[in-house]
């Protein structure tokens, strides 16, 4: 049986600024596995200033509208060369006050004894990590709407695969995890 594969991208969306990176994933991961692609980003992490998404957001005074979601889908499909199984979710940027409150609460829960300098550094890391996990959770939620999938790959656009990765050739089980490989600069 050929496993159903989902590839999740969350965080920064570079759009057409990274054609080599996305072509690498398209040819080495997405096509060989007939994978569904899920892309989640917030307003702060749309990095292609000339893409359709930014234009749609600017036309709506910085808010997410149905037009912005459609533009994001069109940008993502363009990045993945028109692949038909691309799904997106554009997120509002988290208000700084919410991030700070959650960070303080997390640090209090951990009951860490630290100096102000360490508190500020730890708070910065926790805010970043929390946002990353929240984005990943949103990508996973989006994936579940179109699943179930036998294999879910958490991908990073800036990590390149060294060869084609046919997941159906791997012994896949609930307790297996693989690193598919990368090519450093």
Per-residue confidence at 185, pLDDT binned at 50, 70, 90? Answer: very low
pLDDT at 147: 82
Q: What is the pTM of this model?
A: 0.76
| 88-117 pLDDT per residue, tens | 998 887 655 565 666 666 666 655 565 656
Given a cut of 80, is residue 141 above it in pLDDT?
yes
Given a cut of 90, is residue 33 above it in pLDDT?
yes
Given a cut of 90, is residue 145 above it in pLDDT?
yes
Helix (H, G, I), strand (E, B) or coil at 107: helix
pLDDT at 59: 79
Nearest to 21 by CA among 141, 161, 140: 161
Find out whether 54 and 31 touch, Cβ atoms under 8 Å.
no
């Amino acid at each position: 049986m050929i496993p159903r594969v989902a590839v999740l991208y969350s965080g920064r969306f570079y759009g057409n600024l990274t054609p080599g990176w996305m072509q690498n994933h398209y040819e080495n991961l997405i096509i060989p596995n007939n994978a569904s692609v899920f892309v989640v980003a917030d307003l702060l992490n749309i990095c292609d200033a000339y893409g359709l998404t930014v234009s749609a957001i600017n036309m709506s005074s910085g808010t997410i509208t149905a037009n912005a979601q459609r533009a994001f889908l069109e940008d993502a499909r363009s990045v993945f060369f028109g692949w038909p199984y691309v799904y997106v979710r554009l997120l509002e940027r988290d208000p700084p006050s919410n991030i700070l409150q959650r960070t303080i609460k997390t640090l209090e829960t951990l009951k860490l004894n630290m100096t102000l300098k360490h508190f500020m550094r730890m708070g910065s890391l926790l805010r970043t990590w929390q946002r990353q996990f929240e984005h990943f959770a949103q990508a996973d939620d989006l994936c579940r709407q179109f699943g179930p999938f036998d294999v879910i790959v958490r991908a990073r656009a800036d990590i390149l695969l060294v060869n084609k990765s046919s997941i159906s050739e791997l012994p896949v089980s609930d307790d297996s995890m693989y690193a598919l490989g990368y090519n450093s600069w």
